[in-house]
């Protein structure tokens, strides 16, 4: 509320005139509620809905970028191990019979070295499979990834974990969401994905598959809340446009899962249906809308047929009608056509 106070000025224009009074408004005081929210803010209109944009993705860790790990071809390890065994056999052969082996310390050291080389060479041999990779770590630190196939040698002193990098698909269970009108829906989504960065998929998150499932539920709830499931009275965009909904889901999931090394190629809803508690009501509403559209189309056809019939009769001079007779003819033709479910097909002249 603005309070105005009259202030008398000591200045007078001419002698005998009344003193001019200046009105100066006082500062506006806004009452506030106990929680500190201004009263005017409580009645402001709600802001417009923001555009559907990807949220800020999780921060990336540069140290977890996938890089090639230390590995050698398997044939080199086999040769090294065979050479070590041959050297150990030569040392033992030179010592004489096994029961009377008497070796100096230098030969014992050579024999022990050959045995260690053979154990390391054969102990590091492993098989690389197509569509899988080995993730290597040493004392909890990432040492690299090996995507080779066939016989490969990896140091036996590092921890090896196999990870599937093939193209995979996952079909979700029915997810409970609501559309823009608040109607309960059940949605099933098919996601096509693969592990792009093995280091991030293993170390950046506890379970990359569980993370993907949670992000699918969050993305579905966000995307499907932007549009109604059906537009009963208009031709507005709806969730029945599976291609547009799938594109929005794919973009959002790809942005959210990039930080954990998962590449999402496609996320398509395979089934969008109403929840059981509202399905019957929505079915009745859809049937009512379809019936109204059918009646409207029939009425439009009847009106067009009546207009064409009256125009032909009068333009060819078959009948002469005044306003009253024209109205009566229109009424009779409308009732006749409408009771038969629409006008009969006319023969082409």
Residue pLDDT, tens place only, 151-210:
999 999 999 999 999 999 999 999 888 888 788 888 999 999 999 999 999 998 889 999
For 130-155, b/e burial (b = at least 16 CB within 10 A) is: eebbbbbbeeeebbbbbbbeeebbbb
Which residues on adjacent β-strands are paired with residue 220?
Answer: none
Cα 69 to Cα 60, 127, 147, 206: the distances in Å are 21, 15, 9, 22
Q: Average the pLDDT over each of 15-19, 192-196, 293-297 and give the range with the smallest value.
A: 15-19
Residue of 162, 168, 81 whose CA lies nearest to 120: 81
Higher-confidence position of 19 and 98: 98
- What is the SS3 assignment for 340? coil
What does the pLDDT average to over 13-37? Answer: 44
What pLDDT is stored for residue 170 in this prediction? Answer: 92
What torsion do the CA atoms of 197, 202, 205, 210 make, to the nearest 10 degrees?
A: 90
The span from the first CA to the last CA of the chain, in angstroms, equals 80
Higher-confidence position of 14 and 299: 299
**Mean pLDDT, the chain, integer:** 76
Dist. CA 273–CA 238, nearest whole Å: 13
Cα 179 to Cα 17, 183, 212, 224, 226: the distances in Å are 74, 6, 22, 5, 7
Q: Average the pLDDT over each of 87-91, 141-145, 319-323 and give the range with the smallest value.
A: 319-323
What pLDDT is stored for residue 163 in this prediction? Answer: 92
Residue 8: exposed, middle, or buried by beta-carbon count in 10 A (0-12, 13-18, 19+)? exposed
What does the pLDDT average to over 208-233? Answer: 86
Higher-confidence position of 191 and 97: 191
Q: Average the pLDDT over each of 46-50, 123-127, 201-205, 248-252 and give the range with the smallest value.
A: 46-50
Neighbouring residues of 107: CB distance < 8 A, sequence distance ≥ 6:
91, 94, 95
What pLDDT is stored for residue 96 in this prediction? Answer: 61
Quote the percentage of the chain above a pLDDT of 90. 24
Residue 74 reports pLDDT greater than 80:
yes
Which tokens hold the place of 111? 């024999």
Residue 137 reports pLDDT greater than 70:
yes
Kindly report the length of the chain.
Answer: 349
CB-facing half-sphere around the CA of 134: CA atoms within 13 A? 26
What pLDDT is stored for residue 28 in this prediction? Answer: 42
SS3 string, 121-157, reads: HHHCEEEECCCEEEEEEECCEEEEEECCCEEEECCCC
Q: Average the pLDDT over each of 163-177, 219-233, 287-301 and give the range with the smallest value.
A: 287-301
What pLDDT is stored for residue 276 in this prediction? Answer: 77
Residue 227 reports pLDDT greater than 50:
yes
Phi, psi values for residue 310, rounded to 5°: -65, -40
What pLDDT is stored for residue 177 in this prediction? Answer: 87
36: number of Cβ within 10 Å: 6
What pLDDT is stored for residue 160 in this prediction? Answer: 92
Transcribe 194-238 into DSSP letters: EES-HHHHHHTSS-HHHHHHHHHHHHHHHHHTSS-S--SSS----
User: What's the pTM value of the predicted model, to 2 decimals?
Assistant: 0.62
What pLDDT is stored for residue 349 in this prediction? Answer: 39
CA angle 174, 178, 179 (to 5 degrees): 120
pLDDT band of residue 58 (cuts 50, 70, 90) is: low
Residue 15 reports pLDDT greater than 70:
no
What pLDDT is stored for residue 79 in this prediction? Answer: 92
Residue 306 reports pLDDT greater than 50:
yes
Higher-confidence position of 107 and 49: 107
Residues 326, 310 contacting (CB under 8 angstroms): yes
């Amino acid at each position: 509320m603005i309070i105005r106070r009259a202030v008398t000025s000591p200045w007078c224009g001419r002698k005998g005139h009344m003193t001019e009074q200046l009105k100066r408004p006082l500062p506006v005081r806004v009452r506030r509620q106990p929680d500190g929210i201004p009263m005017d803010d409580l009645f402001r209109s709600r802001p417009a809905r923001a555009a559907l944009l990807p949220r800020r993705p999780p921060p990336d860790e540069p140290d977890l970028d996938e890089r090639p790990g230390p590995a050698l071809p398997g044939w080199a390890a086999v040769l090294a191990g065979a050479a070590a065994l041959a050297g150990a056999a030569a040392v033992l052969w030179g010592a004489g019979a096994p029961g009377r082996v008497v070796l100096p310390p230098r030969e014992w050291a050579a024999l022990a070295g050959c045995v260690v080389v053979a154990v390391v060479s054969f102990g590091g041999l492993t098989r690389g499979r197509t569509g899988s990779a080995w993730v290597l770590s040493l004392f909890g630190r990432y040492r690299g990834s090996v995507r080779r196939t066939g016989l490969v040698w990896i140091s036996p002193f590092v921890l090896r974990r196999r990870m599937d990098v093939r193209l995979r698909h996952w079909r979700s269970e029915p997810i409970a969401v609501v559309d823009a009108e608040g109607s309960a829906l059940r949605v099933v989504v098919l996601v096509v994905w693969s592990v792009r960065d093995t280091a991030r998929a293993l170390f950046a998150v506890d379970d990359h598959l569980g993370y993907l499932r949670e992000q699918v539920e969050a993305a579905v709830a966000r995307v499907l809340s932007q549009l109604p499931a059906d537009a009963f009275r208009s031709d507005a965009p709806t969730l029945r446009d599976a291609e547009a909904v799938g594109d929005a889901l794919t973009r959002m999931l790809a942005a959210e899962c990039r930080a954990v090394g998962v590449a999402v190629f496609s996320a398509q809803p395979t089934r969008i249906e109403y929840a059981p508690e509202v399905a019957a009501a929505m079915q009745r509403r859809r049937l009512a809308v379809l019936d109204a559209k059918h009646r409207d189309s029939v009425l439009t056809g009847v009106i067009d047929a009546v207009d064409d019939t009256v125009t032909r009769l009068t333009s060819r001079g078959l009948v002469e009608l005044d306003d009253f007779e024209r109205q009566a003819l229109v009424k009779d033709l409308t009732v006749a056509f409408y009771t038969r479910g629409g006008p009969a097909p006319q023969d082409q002249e």
